[in-house]
Amino acid sequence: MLTSACQTSLPTPKDVKEPVKQEATASDEKISKQVNYIKSSLKLGMTQEEVTSLFGDRFIDVEDNGDLENGGDIFWLYRFFKQNDYKSAFPDYVVDKEGLKERKVGADLFIAWKSKKVHLYSVSYVQGSDNQVHQYVVKPDGTIEDGPLS
């Protein structure tokens, strides 16, 4: 009886929780699902109504300041899994590599519109432990670029 009262139970490795790793894994899973949803759902030529039915109407109207030479006339940015208090130090037309790497933003979807139809789009995100920003781009001619940003 005395032994059980004095005995302390140390946690075994399977009992120890590692919240940081679990959150990062869950976050990676959510980001991966969102990126895959975008890749499979968003198509060139879709209307603004079709896109808002997929992703909602919480986008940022991007001022391009004449810096974008992609043929678009209107630009939208969707920020997925953004921390509520996070504000990027970069203009909305620039990929926020730091915000993505620090997981303050899970994924950015940039859409260029021409005549109110999707003209091109890019998705920027960090996946896995390499902590590199990856970008998936669908160009106006339908070609795809997919890989890490330099």
| pTM > 0.95: yes or no | no
pLDDT tens string for the chain (150 positions)? 444 444 444 444 444 333 333 344 347 888 999 999 999 999 999 999 999 999 999 999 998 655 456 788 899 999 999 998 899 998 888 999 999 998 899 999 999 999 999 999 999 999 877 889 999 999 999 999 999 987
**In Å, how far from its chain's centre is CA 51?**
16
